[in-house]
Amino acid sequence: MTPMEIALAEARAAAARGEVPVGAVVLDGGGAVLARAGNEVEARHDASAHAELLALRAAAALRGEVRLPDCELVVTLEPCPMCAQAASFFRVRRLVFGAYDPKGGGIEHGARVFDATSCSHRPEVVGGVREAEAGVLLRTFFASRR
């Protein structure tokens, strides 16, 4: 499985649990999976339990390190400002995301966290990877809630 396929599997699992279908995976410098997660906001009653934060925290704990400078974060949706800032704080080398989020994104839209003068680290960013597939997951999930 590719990293985005792993993230998409996590997103599907999140949707099956009634969570917004977002999945994330953290890879080490050699491409090995350190951590993977799907949203757990509802289950944890925690607005910060986004897939990205859960995966970054787990990867850092596994390594016993505060920062992940050789790592890559792959996520199915453009990270929100909170998660974009977390990627900066964790010092990830690269951030790859699927669907763009014009309403709540924090990288290409909205706050544009990495473009702020206060941002101390800007990872390499690649957006739109399997964008259509990630977008369908989200649209289907929200359509079923309306």
Burial (0-12, 13-18, 19+ Cβ within 10 Å), 106: buried
DSSP H helical segments within the chain, as ranges?
Answer: 3-16, 41-44, 51-63, 81-89, 131-145
25 phi/psi in degrees, rounded to 5 = -140, 145
Q: At what angle do helices 51-63 and 81-89 cross, to 10 degrees?
A: 20
- The Cα 25–Cα 110 span in angstroms is 23
Q: Give the model's pLDDT for residue 52.
A: 98
pLDDT at 146: 75
Query: Structure tokens of 123?
Result: 């990872």
Q: What are phi and psi of 41, to 5 degrees?
A: -60, -50
Q: Which residues of the chain have pLDDT under 50?
A: none
Q: Which two tokens stand for residue 44?
A: 């944890």
Q: Active-site residue numbers?
A: 52
β pairing state of 33-38 and 23-27: antiparallel
Which pLDDT score is estimated for 84? 98
In the chain the first and final C-alpha atoms are separated, in Å, by: 33
Whole-angstrom Cα distance, residue 54 to residue 67? 14
- Tell if the pTM clears 0.95, that is, is over it: yes
pLDDT of 40? 98
